[in-house]
Amino acid sequence: MENQENQNTEGKSFFQSTTAKMIMVGLLTLFLLIPLLFVQDLIQERSQRKSEMINEVSELWGKDIIFYGPILRIPYNTFENYNVTDTKTGVTTIQKKATTNYAYFFPNELSSNSNVKKNESLKRGIFNHVVFTADMNFKGNFTAPYFSKLNIAPETIQWDKASIIVKTTNLKSIKSELKIQLNNEKLSFEPQNNDKSEYSILATNIFDYKQLASNDKINFNFGITYNGSNSIKFIPIGKVTNVAIDSDWKSPSFEGSFAANDATKTISATGFHVDWKVLDINRTFSQQYTNVLPDLDDYQFGVKLIETVDEYQQNERVSKYGFLVIGLTFLIFFLIQSISKINIHIFQYSMIGIALIMFYTLLISITEHSSFSFAYAISGTAVVAMITIYSISILKNRKFPLFIATSLTVLYTFIYVIIQMEDYALLVGSIGLFFILAAVMYFSRKIDWSK
């Protein structure tokens, strides 16, 4: 009988020991990773829905803009000899078969000025995708076509059937009448059958080059308005190509094979200005071609209009700190429990953990209807207030709950600062974790862990 009582006493003392409580709190922390993973899945699901909406809106409004042109196209004839035998006389004669091919000539000078304005009016449910309208103006000139470099005989050239062509994406989203001024004549562009690539082809009516050219030179000038999204890019086919873009977009990313002019580039909260100058010696393709235009996509340059970090990326980054928040919060309660000798039941730890998980569901749901910063402040305040009020009933005083509220506020503020940073996030995070570890070591130094 006495032995049985001693065994019960020993069993009771173990489950009430510091070691047993640490094990249970640790297991609970690991268990709470399961709903945290569900929260991360929810964020990915909502992000996927937004991506589907973006694709839908972009398909209707307009996608990326890539501009390749204008290009002077002049046809010429090639002749192929073949034998024809008269069946009655048996006499064989040589005849010529003419085939029409095309020579393509890039501009001598090409300048483009674009004004890009964002449009936030498109909305699908709770999602609002930002697109833009681009007013683009082009001017420049063509000099005398260099047919001799292409080994084309002058007598085969069809000067009276010249035309100007443009290759571009996003043809269905052009929102302006497209006409080009060639010296003193204005011509309209019409769509042509494309070459089954991502580009569509626009071509003018034919004109007589020699009649239109002044001193073997044709000046051109035209404008075009696009609805687009994501990016605007150009191919520098001019012997000298100048491109300038002004926009009210505050988060551009300059991309492509050529760097923008750092001396004139400006980016502010109200928009940006950028320009490029590309010379023919800066790229490795010729100014004239026959039969087929070259694929010059490797020479694209321009601007991508991006959201630096959208709300779902921010939510995902915050959720990755969930294990840290739960672990540190439980550690604070555990230290208070060990120092003050106040008993906290595992059920109470569970309620606190669920409240911490609720922060992330509140954050993502409020973010979808407001800004991330506002949602973070509301969610953080609500969870900190709930845990503080709950801890007053657990700890039976106001000193420790005040410490808990302060600690959680500092922790959530620390995480918010980290996710707003890009270049210094790792540095600030590492320093912050170092100080957190130092604080834990300081407050736990007098605890007798052997009990």
**Other C-beta atoms lying within 10 Å of the C-beta of residue 409:** 14
- Residue 359: per-residue pLDDT: 86
Would you tell me the crossing angle of helices 322-340 and 399-420 to the nearest 10 degrees?
160
Lowest mean pLDDT among 1-5, 33-37, 174-178: 1-5
pLDDT digits (tens, 9 = 90+) for 375-403: 888 988 898 888 888 888 877 777 888 88
Name the residue with higher pLDDT: 126 or 120. Answer: 120
- Residue 6: per-residue pLDDT: 47
| Residue % of the chain over a pLDDT of 90 | 11
- Nearest Cα to Cα of residue 102 among 157, 169, 160, 24: 157
Q: Is the pLDDT of residue 408 over 70?
A: yes
Lowest mean pLDDT among 124-128, 213-217, 272-276: 124-128
- Residue 12: per-residue pLDDT: 47
pLDDT digits (tens, 9 = 90+) for 295-320: 888 899 999 887 655 677 777 778 87
Query: Do strands 65-85 and 231-234 pair parallel, antiparallel, or not at all (unpaired)?
Result: parallel
Band (pLDDT 50/70/90 cuts) for residue 447 is low
Band (pLDDT 50/70/90 cuts) for residue 422 is low
Band (pLDDT 50/70/90 cuts) for residue 43 is confident
Q: What is the pTM of this model?
A: 0.67
The CA-based angle 367-371-372, given to 5 degrees, is: 60
pLDDT digits (tens, 9 = 90+) for 48-61: 777 777 777 767 77
Would you tell me the crossing angle of helices 33-61 and 346-367 to the nearest 10 degrees?
10
